[in-house]
Amino acid sequence: MTTKKNNGIFSRFLKTVETLGNILPHPVTLFAIFCALVIISSQIFEFFELSVLDPRPVGTKGRNPDGMIKAVGLLNGEGIRKIFLNLVKNFANFAPLGTVLVAMLAVGVAEYSGLLTAFIRRIVLKAPDKLVTFIVVLAGIISNTASELGYVVLIPLGGYIFLSKGRHPIAGMAAAFAGVSGGYSANLFVGTLDPLLAGITNESVKLISNNYEVSDICNYYFMAGSTFLIAFIATIVTEKIVEPNLGKYDSSLGDDDIDSTEALKPLSKKELKGLKWAIVTIAILAVVAALTVIPENGVLRDPNAASGTNFVKQARPFFKGIIAWIFIFFMIPSIVFGKITGSIKNDKDVIQGMTQAMERLGLYLVLVFFAAQFIAFFNWTNLGAIFAVSGANLLTGLGVTGPSVFFLFIILCCFVNLMLGSASAQWAVTAPIFVPMLMLLGYSPEIIQAAYRIGDSSTNIITPMMSYFGLIFSFALKFDKKLGIGTLISTMLPYSLAFVITWSLFFYLWVFILGLPVGPGAPTYFSL
């Protein structure tokens, strides 16, 4: 017995989502269209003298003497010159670009050497039967540190693990998928997503304050805590809802060549030795990192920080340079592992690993080019600031200014994510509006970004617009040749609902009840 297709209301809803998603153009085309719309609409709004009262204090840099924020048109001589003169600059100076490229250089070597695959297999294959589901989900969450590793390796591996233990393989894939994609923003480690989102957030913060800056690890505390919440919730959903609903697996539904023994092959002696020395290397690097920031004379402490200030402010150079540590912590242990296992023989192999990582970033670079132009145009025209102030005034007039506003914001992000599956693309579109808007209501950009990450992650697993959805579906067909897209989405829906409800409540508890910071030096509230 396997899953049954539901032809009711939910099935029609899924069909509607899929149809609407298919209507949308490619994200790159979407940003190009947005750029054109901003240019044209800015001139129209300038003609009609669209403006709002500037809420920033008198004397703030960039504030007009008359105290108004006015729409600035770009479809004129001055605007066109500005576009042409800054086209390259907008792209080259886009904050997330450099950090992602640097991080992916090292992640590419880690993937090429086999260190990441060996690490994931070691975690999952040694798990006791009672903890298999939890470990599969947890490994999926952790795998997000290394870009697409979880999608390519762990999700099919989850199916084989469940199959080897007499359980339904689709349930194993669903559990891994829930961790990799549903828990995309949660992690115990800082990954490539953190500096990417922080860079976009900083671009949006400039609409309100030129002096405020969020760090690449501004959400670390909350996301580390969320890791265990998501793993626990996904485990319950898998074992209490998804797996019972799937029923007993009928092996005749799968491919004839399915063999779980190869996928579950234990680590070789060389891999075990390489993994051991990679861990030793990481421990040594951790000591070195600590020595740069913990002692008062640490080289990565701010020598200009006033005595008595908190550790986060004193360690500002360390946190601002976290991308360098990501590079080091991926690169050096990967080389050690590769040299021991033989996957890396010389410098050419290291370069090959970095090259392959850059090759996979081709689409990202194209997307970033147009996203950078869109954000720059949005800033120049003042439309982002005008919409943000207008939205904040509307919410204030309706009395929706308390913490409950974040529940609405998270739901909105969930909905947008159904149509625009890329985390960076979605945040590049929504951040210029919602970051300033919620900052004007008194909330810090750090917690705004954390709330966005909840909405973005929770619906990743139920949208066909997610870039890896087709890959996951093809993996699932190996276990059930009759599986439909709607069936796969309906299998993942309980996870999505459970995540958005529990994660939102957890956010509210963490930030507004317990008053805990979402990351190092991250405040809850903001004031002009």
Given this model, what pLDDT does residue 19 score? 60
**Within-domain flag for 200:** yes
Q: Cα separation of 437 and 384, whole Å?
A: 9
Taking only the tens place, the pLDDT of each residue in 176-213 is 999 988 888 888 887 767 888 888 898 888 878 888 88
At residue 328, what are phi and psi to the nearest 5 degrees? -65, -45
Confidence of residue 10 (pLDDT cuts 50, 70, 90): low
Using alpha carbons, list the distances in angstroms from residue 13 to 6, 348, 462, 505. 11, 51, 11, 26
CA distance 526 to 438: 9
Of 360, 361, 462, 370, whose CA–CA distance to 27 is shortest? Answer: 370
* Six token digits for residue 510: 């963490």
> When comparing pLDDT for 262 and 250, which is higher?
250
Strand partners of residue 525: 443
**What is the rounded distance in angstroms from the CA atom of residue 483 to the CA atom of residue 378?**
44
Q: For the chain, what's the residue count?
A: 528
Answer whether residue 471 is part of any domain: yes
The phi, psi pair for 443, rounded to 5°, reads -105, 145
**Residue 512 one-letter amino acid:** F
Task: Indicate left, alpha or beta for 186 from its phi (over 0: left) and psi (-120 to 50: alpha).
Answer: beta
50 DSSP assignment: -
Greater model confidence, 307 or 31: 31
Q: Is residue 405 part of a domain?
A: no
Give the distance between the most distant pair of CA atoms in the chain.
Answer: 75
310: pLDDT confidence band, cut at 50, 70 and 90?
Answer: low
Is residue 420 included in any domain, yes or no?
no
Which position has the higher pLDDT, 361 or 43? 43
**Cβ neighbours of 102 (radius 10 Å):** 16
277 to 71, 114, 132, 324, 338: CA distances (angstroms)? 59, 14, 26, 22, 11
391, 400 Cβ separation under 8 angstroms: no
For residue 9, what pLDDT is reported?
Answer: 64
Q: What is the pLDDT of residues 349-379, one digit of tens each?
A: 999 999 988 887 777 788 789 888 988 898 8
Say which residue, 21 or 249, is predicted with more confidence: 249
Give the rounded percent of residues in the chain with a pLDDT score beyond 90.
33
Residue 203 within a domain: yes
User: In terms of residue numbers, what domain contains 72?
Assistant: 9-53+62-378+463-497
At 255 the pLDDT is 63
133-142, 239-248, 429-438, 457-466: lowest mean pLDDT where? Answer: 457-466
At residue 72 the predicted structure's pLDDT band, cuts being 50, 70 and 90, is very high
Confidence of residue 281 (pLDDT cuts 50, 70, 90): very high
pLDDT of residue 1: 40
pLDDT of residue 23: 67
Q: Is residue 440 part of a domain?
A: no
Cα(448)–Cα(408) distance, rounded to whole angstroms? Answer: 12
Q: Which residue has the higher pLDDT, 482 or 60?
A: 482
How far apart are the two ends of the chain, measured CA to CA in Å?
60
Tally of domains in the chain: 1
DSSP at 443: B
Spatial separation of the C-alpha atoms in residues 206 and 54, rounded to whole Å? 14
Is 99 a residue whose pLDDT tops 90?
Answer: no
Question: pLDDT digits over 218-237, tens only?
Answer: 999 999 999 999 999 999 99
Q: How confident is the model at residue 286 (pLDDT cuts 50, 70, 90)?
A: very high
Please give the share of the chain, as a percent, with pLDDT higher than 70. 84
Residue 189 is given by DSSP the state S
Q: Are 139 and 123 in contact (CB under 8 A)?
A: yes
Is 80 within a domain? yes
Write the single-letter amino acid at 112: Y
Q: Out of 23-32, 35-44, 257-266, 408-417, which region has the weakest mean confidence (pLDDT)?
A: 257-266
What's the Cα-to-Cα distance from 39 to each of 43, 91, 188, 380, rounded to whole Å? 7, 17, 42, 10
157 within some domain: yes
Closest CA to 134 of 226, 236, 222, 225: 236
